[in-house]
Amino acid sequence: MTVKDTQAMIASMTPVLVPGDWVFCAVTGTGTIPTDAFAVIQEAEGTTLILPEATAKAGGYESSAVMQQITLQVNSDLEGVGLTAAVATALTAQNIPCNVVAGYHHDHIFVPKTLGGIAYAALLKVQGDAR
């Protein structure tokens, strides 16, 4: 069952700090996509891959800074309003940049690895405040 109500999405977002180190990589042309890619995003300028850091290094990919993934366990409706804004607002208050990747079932937040614990705590607080 998906959750669409703003308050209910925030109150039940249940962030999980996912183990592992992730990087964003920009590639051009066609090639084999590593099987452990978290996401593949096609853009006019090329393709963005979200890869485990070790895979990116082994494949010689140019990559971003190392990121940590936080997955929101709420099964938010794709037409729900406000969850991303609540997350971004909470992280902005802590001066934490974030990149949000929305899947069919969950939203995944990527933050700098060094700020993962702080970001996680900030999201738990937002969830608690919404309850």
Supply the CATH number for residue 70's domain: 3.30.2130.10
> What pLDDT, on a 0 to 100 scale, did the predictor assign at position 28?
81
Number of domains comprising the chain: 1
Domain hosting 78: range is 6-130
pTM confidence score: 0.94
Q: Sheet of 46-52: strands edge to edge?
A: 39-43, 46-52, 15-27, 67-72, 107-112, 99-102
Task: Walk along the chain (131 residues) in steps of 10 and give the mean pLDDT of each run.
Answer: 93 97 89 92 92 96 96 94 96 98 96 98 97 90
Three-state SS string over 32-81 comes to CCCCCCCEEEEECCEEEEEEEHHHHHHHCCCECCCEEEEEECCCECCCCC
In a domain, 1, yes or no: no
